[in-house]
Amino acid sequence: MREATRDVGAALARLQRASRVLVTSHAAPDGDALGSELGFAELARALGIAATIVNRDPHPASLAFLPGLETIRVADLPAGFEHDFDLGVLLECPDLDRPGFAGFGSLPLLNLDHHLENALYGEVNVVDEDAPAVGEMVLAMAETAGIAVTASMATNLYAALVTDTGDFRYSNATPRAFTAAARLVTAGAKPDAIAEALWEHNPARVVRLTAEVLATLELLAGGRLAVIACDRAMLARAGARPEDTENLVNIPRAIDGVRVAVFLKALADGAVRVSLRSRGDVDVQSVARTFGGGGHRNAAGCTLKGGLADARRALLAAVLPVVESS
């Protein structure tokens, strides 16, 4: 039976028995992944422990400001890694597949996470689902160790916290999140500069694409269903990339009275990717499942064959009854 604890002291004790640690997080790293890694590596070094961060995927452009980001190796695990390190540290990874590597061989692992469902794959598993971000757990480790939190560590851990709480807009914006923010700002994190770096460097092509896509807005079911669409010509005119559509569905979702928002995107292969967002107890996961997709109650997705018009028709036939009964 594998055991978990919430006590970051257990993570600290295990770390202090190591001398060369490999630090990683999940593939497609986000703010909590990168901020926690950089903060953890700085903590390890302050304790006299060598730390190397290796990620499978590069960082998103919005996180390019994180101090020390240039020290992260973006690569597969180096040959012979089991001999180069004496501890592997996995941050924000509910299971061993999340880092996107083939595996960690015989390397002992320290598992530090805040997901409710965690596979407890480590020699030591510190899992605290009440932690607003793994970055907050790393802060607690530094404080427990009596290590001075530097401005760079504070910046990285604040970035972890502010991104994982959605700018303190999600339900994990708890008193614990706010007291951690207070300590990090006291230690030198600059919320205004970090917010500017995170949210105010949008590529112009995304703004152009936003104009194109929002111009397609349809309100149906008495304003309770909002539909937007993106065809290949819009992407081309905006000079945009397929991933630039990522947050667009949240704009119609935030319209007063809207219960479900649908975003239809024509793919290069002729299929249509559908993103569904809902508010409150309206379940869009069931709609996505009808078409072989999945997700959560309030955020789901699926892929339909055929062009935009056919996909729109099929999708609306499935989603309208859900909206109307809500």
Binding site for a copy of itself (CB under 8 A): 162, 167-171, 173-176, 178-179, 181-183, 185-186, 191-192, 195-196, 199-204, 207-208, 210-215, 217, 219, 223, 226, 251-257, 279
Choose between 23 and 230: whose C-beta lies nearer to a copy of itself.
230
Choose between 286 and 298: whose C-beta lies nearer to a copy of itself.
298
Q: What are phi and psi of 299, to 5 degrees?
A: -150, 115
Distance between CA 126 and CA 137 in Å, rounded? Answer: 9
Choose between 73 and 297: whose C-beta lies nearer to a copy of itself.
297
* Token pair listed for 319: 């989603």
Q: How far is the CB of 153 from a copy of itself (least distance, A)?
A: 16
Distance between CA 132 and CA 226 in Å, rounded? Answer: 31
List CB contacts of 8: < 8 A, sequence separation 6 or more: 112, 126, 128, 137, 140, 141, 144
Choose between 96 and 251: whose C-beta lies nearer to a copy of itself.
251
Choose between 176 and 232: whose C-beta lies nearer to a copy of itself.
176
Q: How far is the CB of 319 from a copy of itself (least distance, A)?
A: 18
Choose between 24 and 156: whose C-beta lies nearer to a copy of itself.
156
**Would you tell me how many other CB atoms lie within 10 Å of the CB of residue 189?**
23
DSSP state of 56: S
* Token pair listed for 21: 């640690």
**Contact status, residue 282 vs residue 247, Cβ threshold 8 Å:** no
Choose between 15 and 63: whose C-beta lies nearer to a copy of itself.
63
**Order of all β-strands in the sheet with 87-91:** 73-74, 50-55, 20-24, 87-91, 109-113, 124-127
Q: How far is the CB of 280 from a copy of itself (least distance, A)?
A: 10
In whole angstroms, what separates CA 149 from the centre of its chain?
24
Q: How far is the CB of 317 from a copy of itself (least distance, A)?
A: 23
Q: What are phi and psi of 194, to 5 degrees?
A: -65, -40
3-state secondary structure of 28: coil
Closest to 125 in 3D by CA, of 140, 135, 115, 136: 115
Q: How far is the CB of 139 from a copy of itself (least distance, A)?
A: 13
**Which conformational region is residue 120 in: left (phi greater than 0), alpha (psi within -120 to 50 degrees), or beta?**
left
